[in-house]
């Protein structure tokens, strides 16, 4: 229970930070209700391919995954741009600092592509 609580808290912090930093440009593909959420936050940033985002984040020391995540029909149904998303995952070894690093690196990606 403690691990799930920690993961949900971090995912909520991530959701809030992404929305604050990028407003309407960020599209979330993650349950917003805590009871349906784990430590996974999937998103896209308008105008930037998820694979490009993942590469810039990797270059800045932030590990994420980009693609269809074995859920291509779901990506189509959700009208995900490029039919793929970026997926960040949080667990017991993550902290608020990891979210800050994610947002900072995502801002760099945004500057690079816009």
Beta-ladder partners of 67: 85
Among candidate residues 33, 35, 70, 111, the one labeled active-site is 70
> How big is the chain by its Cα radius of gyration, in Å?
13
**Residue 106 Cα distances to 14, 20, 59, angstroms:** 12, 13, 11
Q: Is-catalytic flag, 70?
A: yes
Residue 66: both structure tokens together: 């980009």
| Angle of CA points 77, 78, 80, to nearest 5° | 115
Would you please indicate which residues are annotated as catalytic (active-site) residues? 70
């Amino acid at each position: 229970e403690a691990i799930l609580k920690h993961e949900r808290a971090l995912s909520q912090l991530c959701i809030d930070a992404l929305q604050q930093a990028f407003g309407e440009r960020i599209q979330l593909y993650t349950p917003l209700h805590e009871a349906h959420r784990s430590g996974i936050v999937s998103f896209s940033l308008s105008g930037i391919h998820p694979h490009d985002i993942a590469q810039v984040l990797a270059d800045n020391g932030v590990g994420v995954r980009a693609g269809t995540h074995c859920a291509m029909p779901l990506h189509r149904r959700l009208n995900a741009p490029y039919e793929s998303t970026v997926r960040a995952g949080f667990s017991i070894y993550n902290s608020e600092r990891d979210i800050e690093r994610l947002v900072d690196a995502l801002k760099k990606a945004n500057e690079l592509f816009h």
